[in-house]
Amino acid sequence: MKNYAHRTRTLVTGGAGFLGSHLCDRLIAEGHDVICLDNFFTVTKDNVAHLLGNPHFELTRHDVTFPLYVEVDQIYNLACPASPVHYQHDPVQTTKTSVHGAINMLGLAKRTKARIFQAFTSEVYGDPEVHPQPESYWGRVNPIGIRSCYDEGKRCAETLFFDYHRQHNLDIKVARIFNTYGPRMHPNDGRVVSNFIVQALKGENITIYGDGQQTRSFCYVDDLIEGFVRLMGTESGFTGPVNLGNPGEFTMLELAEKVLQIVGGHSKLVFQSLPADDPKQRQPDIGLAREKTGWVPKVPLDEGLKRTVDYFSKLLKD
């Protein structure tokens, strides 16, 4: 249906979540009409409460595993629990969200001829043998483990995106996101950055899983959202997949040290067992994102951690 309002009507699924809420802020600031859709599985309305009075912002309670009929120009499909604690809570629903959710959002994009962006993940690379990981690497994923509902759900959804593109000529933009952190992460979702910061602020022990030598690359949320918008703005026909992440690579012990330096306090490190299938290393090759969009993350880990510590210390005081 033609849009006479001359504003881009943009649907953000998972819009009340950590990344989704930052994306809604950015899109509203750029003059979009935003439909923020969420089933509030992992969040409350708090992340978007400040947008509720805005006439260009609409909050809808809906589960992407069910069909959705709205008229839109662009779709960012972010709906999916992202932390291992959340996605392993109801693994069947996690796969349904990735797969049925992708089918519904692709069907919607097909009918409305909307451009569609999908938040995929570095988990498609599993526990990688290639380091750093370029988009051309096919990955090493356990299909029957406790992380599989997330990894294989996302991989199947990637297949659907590329088949809708080939079969129905859909305008798709596929991002593979590496660990991202920042304000509005959930304090209890079990992810390493929120865990370490909350533990340090409360003076509790810092829980290191395994020997702490496994690595991750952490991207600050503002950098990532800039990457989303740039990828969405690339020319029609450019599909990705495109890695988005900060190539700085740190062990979990190094991360714990940095958090303790910023927060201070007397927390001690305690070593706990490593969860099954926990990847040993992760580092994005971001050459393609840089070449296609000029995107490079700007916020160093120490700076991003400081901003995140500020956020959590206010949250814990409230």
Q: Tell me if residue 181 is catalytic.
A: no
Peptide bond into 241 cis (omega under 30): yes
Under 8 Å between Cβ of 1 and 28: no
Residue whose CB is less far from ligand UDP, 179 or 293: 179
Q: Residue 250 binds what, of ligand UDP, ligand NAD, none (CB under 5 to 8 Å, by partner type)?
A: none
The residues that touch ligand UDP, with contacts defined as CB under 6 A, are 67-69, 83-84, 103-104, 107-108, 110-111, 179, 190-192, 195, 207-209, 214, 216, 252, 274-275, 278
Cβ closest to ligand NAD, residue 47 vs residue 267: 47
Q: Tokens for 195?
A: 């865990």
Query: Considering CB distances under 5 to 8 angstroms, the limit depending on partner class, which of ligand NAD, ligand UDP, none binds residue 247?
Result: none
Give the whole-angstrom CA distance, residue 142 versus residue 122.
Answer: 14
Alpha carbon separation from 219 to 19, 78, 196, 250, 303 (Å, rounded): 12, 17, 16, 12, 11
- The verdict on whether omega for the bond into residue 247 sits within 30 degrees of 0, i.e. cis, is no
Closest CA to 38 of 9, 67, 94, 79: 79
84 binds, among ligand UDP, ligand NAD, none (CB under 5 to 8 A by kind): ligand UDP
Partner in contact with 177, chosen from ligand UDP, ligand NAD, none, beta carbon below 5 to 8 Å by kind: ligand NAD
Burial classification of residue 125, based on how many CB atoms lie within 10 Å of its CB (0-12 exposed, 13-18 middle, 19 or more buried): buried
Query: Minimum distance from CB of 123 to ligand NAD (Å)?
Result: 7
Smallest distance from the beta carbon of 257 to ligand UDP, in angstroms?
A: 13
Interface with ligand NAD by CB under 6 A: which residues?
Answer: 13-14, 16-20, 38-43, 63-65, 78-82, 86, 97, 101, 119, 121, 177, 179-180
8-state DSSP, 125: G
| CB nearer to ligand NAD: pick between 81 and 183 | 81
To ligand UDP, the closest distance from the beta carbon of 291 in angstroms equals 26
Choose the contact partner of 145 out of ligand NAD, ligand UDP, none; CB within 5 to 8 A by kind.
none
Q: State in angstroms the smallest separation of the CB of 4 from ligand NAD.
A: 29
CB closest to ligand NAD, residue no = 17
Q: Which is nearer to ligand UDP, 134 or 212 (CB)?
A: 212
Identity of the residue, 28 or 84, whose beta carbon is nearer to ligand UDP in the bound complex = 84
- Given a contact cutoff of 8 angstroms between Cβ atoms, the answer to whether 35 and 60 are in contact is yes
- Is 5 buried (19+), middle (13-18) or exposed (0-12) by CB count in 10 A? exposed
Paired with 310 in beta bridges are: none
The CB density around residue 113, as the number of other CB atoms within 10 Å, is 11
Provide the minimum distance between the beta carbon of 5 and ligand NAD in the complex, in angstroms, as a whole number: 25
Active site members: 150
